Amino acid sequence: MLELLFLGTGASVPSRDRATSCIAVRGGSDIILMDCGEGSQRQLMISPFSFMKIRAVLITHLHGDHVFGLPGLLQTMSLSGRTEPLTVYGPKGLAKGLDMMMTATEGETIYPLEVVELEGGEEFAVRDMTVRSFRTEHGMPSIGFIVREKDKPGKLDRAKALSLGIRDGPDMARLKNGESVGDVRPEMVVGPRTPGASIAYTGDTMPCETVIEGCKGATALVHESTYMSTEAGLAADHFHSTARQAAEVAMGAGVGMLLLTHVSNRYDDRGLVEEDARAVFPDSVVVDDMDWFEVLSDSVRRKVTSV
């Protein structure tokens, strides 16, 4: 299971009710932070997630509402005595941009900090989670991410294993872990592995094939929906997506649930934004700051209405 906590769901600028883009994914006690708009560390401090448990930060692009909170968070980790290394991943230009912000604010870290620039298509591990990047289209270097937990071992058919001469104990465990015991191979007594939960996040993007491919089969898709379909022209002009376009991506990618974020402050009735998406993909929800979900391999459920 993965936990998904929305720390900031606003578009472009914060409002009374919404901070700018920031999402936390937790697997066990380890946290991956995706985007870090201004105010993100304050949101973390009033949330049930500890910023000292962040193992990696994933930045989708360098617009301020997705990155201005990062220098402050990195410095606060130092002031809080962090010693564990941290890696920040993002598109081309991230290393230079972050260095300029840290230098201008005389920011220092007492822990090892690594910045890795990606082009899309890379895969890497963050503790027991794996992350794969994919290209997006936002008029500047930009990428999305899909985070997966490890697949779960298949169920061991104990009776069949016993009939083949396997004794209870270490040999049963070896078979379940994928090792052969004598002439007995794991596939003879162990069922297929269950895929782990997965969460895809687009950041800001207009619809494109690389996003559909990158999100394929995700349990949960977090997609920007800055505009409603009535303003598709504005969305295209600014390299953004409408709620209906996000729903079309969800349908094309075959995801389990669509979670809509980055909604423009122009829409007072966000229920209309949700309806716009549900006309295409019924399992669509507009999220608010501090909405918290449990993401399993085959379902998404709200943990609490809000934190």
65 among known catalytic residues: yes
Q: Which tokens in the block code for residue 63? A: 């617009």
User: What is the enclosing helix (H) or strand (E) of 147?
Assistant: strand 143-149
First-to-final CA distance of the chain: 19
Place of tokens 């990155």: 67
Q: Are the C-beta atoms of 175 and 156 separated by less than 8 Å?
A: yes
Kindly give the interhelix angle for 270-278 and 243-253, rounded to the nearest 10 degrees.
Answer: 40
Q: How far apart are CA 227 and CA 78, in angstroms?
A: 38
| Catalytically annotated residue among 65, 276, 289, 291 | 65
Place of tokens 């105010």: 39
Q: Which tokens in the block code for residue 128? A: 């027991």
Nearest to 199 by CA among 246, 257, 285, 159: 257
**Adjacent-strand bridge partners of 295:** 2, 300
Q: Are the C-beta atoms of 246 and 212 separated by less than 8 Å?
A: no
Task: State the amino acid at position 247 in one-letter form.
Answer: A
Q: Are the C-beta atoms of 11 and 25 separated by less than 8 Å?
A: no
User: What is the enclosing helix (H) or strand (E) of 97?
Assistant: helix 94-104
Angle CA(229)–CA(235)–CA(238) in degrees, nearest 5? Answer: 175
Catalytic residues: 65
